[in-house]
Amino acid sequence: MEQSQVLAPTTPAQRRASSWLRVPGWLKSILRNRKATIGLAILLFFVLVAIFAPVIAPTRDPMRMVGRPHDPPSAEHILGTTRQGQDIFTQLVHGTRVTLVVGFATGTVIILIAIVVGVTAGYLGGWVDDMMSMLMNIVLILPGLPLIIVVAGWLDRPGPLTIVLVLSAISWAWGARVLRAQTLTLRNSDFVLAARVVGEPSWRIIFSEILPNLTSLVVSSWIGAVLYVVLTEAALEFIGLGNPNIVTWGTILYWAQNNAALLTRSWWTFIPPGVCIALLGFSLTLINYGIDEITNPRLRADEGAKE
């Protein structure tokens, strides 16, 4: 590729092809960071499992009874069966889908709200900022989980969509606060002042000067939000506030707990889904540490110890 560029003048199509093939800069710096690479690899694994779920564990319905109840892992059911005789491996594979989709969808809604509120407050300043900051702080201080539990209690077994909406409504404040602070700093930087002096309209300054500089912060807040949603959704389903008929990692745990998995010592019913949630959380955390280290060199562990 390098060679062809030197040897022959390239057509636009070729150039486009080569820029597609070339590893983009941000990916290169992520791949150079060990933590981020491991995190991405685990995440990619789960994404692949979610996409190819029907191939990996073909079934008409993961809730179907296929074996004897509470069978420990065997060649036939590699992760054993539940009290209802459902295959845990099948449930786990299919549960990956809902868990990932709900996690990333909600995380995205949360970060979008956070960007709108945070950047608006930070950029406009004045009374708009005062009002929005107050709103952020109030949403931040109100205990989220108890509120969700109460809402879920009134709703009587809310589906995933309701959980997405409720979680989004109460979880955007942290990201908004972080983005507001950074926007405030950027607003007073020389290049933004220059753009204002030139007479650029506000929306252009926000989209072409401020947002690109918030990218790493947006990405890490986004991943943080996804992590929060995955853990919270699983927790809600675990305590029985989700829809127990939809197979997710959280509902597998709910049924395990409901069927006295601990007392009957059927560890295979609760360890695999728990490990999956923990692994997904682990991968998201690693990615965030990686991004942190890449964008904030002061935090790297290998640099000069103070003695």
Partner 1 sequence: MRFILRRIAFYAVALFIAISINFLIPRLMTGDPVQLMFARFQGRMTVEALDSLKETFGFVQGPLLEQYITYLRNLSQGNLGLSVAHFPEPVTDVLRIGLAWTLRLIGLATIISFAYGTLLGIMAAWRRGKFVDSVILPITSLLGAFPYFFLAMLVLYAFALGLGWFPLGHAANINIRQDWGSTEYVLSVIHHMMLPAFTIIATSIGGWMLGMRNNMIGVLAEDYITMAQAKGLSNRRIMFSYAARNAILPSITGFAMSLGFVLGGALLTEIVFSYPGMGYILLNAVNTRDYPVMQGTFLFITIAVLAANLLADIGYVFLDPRVRA
Is 138 a residue that touches partner 1 (CB under 8 A)? yes
Site for partner 1 in 9-28 (CB under 8 A): none
Cβ(93)–Cβ(53) below 8 Å = yes
Cβ partners under 8 Å of residue 143, min gap 6: none
Distance in angstroms between the alpha carbons of the first and the last residue of the chain: 48
Is 34 a residue that touches partner 1 (CB under 8 A)? no
Nearest-angstrom CA–CA distance, 298 and 307: 17
Considering beta carbons, is residue 85 or 240 the nearer one to partner 1? 240
* φ, ψ (nearest 5 deg) of residue 62: -65, -15
Structure tokens at 2: 């390098």
Is 270 a residue that touches partner 1 (CB under 8 A)? yes
Q: Which residue in the set 19, 23, 263, 297 belongs to the binding site for partner 1 (CB under 8 A)? A: 263
DSSP tally for the chain: helices H, then strands E: 15, 0
# chain residues binding partner 1, by CB under 8 A = 51
Is 121 a residue that touches partner 1 (CB under 8 A)? no
Is 212 a residue that touches partner 1 (CB under 8 A)? no
Site for partner 1 in 223-242 (CB under 8 A): 227, 231, 234-235, 238-241
The residue range among 21-29, 72-80, 150-158, 178-186 that interacts with partner 1, by the rule CB under 8 A, is 150-158
Q: Which residue in the set 17, 142, 165, 260 belongs to the binding site for partner 1 (CB under 8 A)? A: 142
SS (H, E, C) 10-59: CCHHHHHHHHHHCCCHHHHHHHHCHHHHHHHHHHHHHHHHHHCHHHHCCC
Is 48 a residue that touches partner 1 (CB under 8 A)? no
Cβ(229)–Cβ(102) below 8 Å = yes
Binding site for partner 1 (CB under 8 A): 134, 137-138, 140-147, 149-155, 227, 231, 234-235, 238-241, 253, 257, 262-263, 265, 267, 270-271, 274, 277-278, 281-282, 284-285, 289, 298-299, 301-307
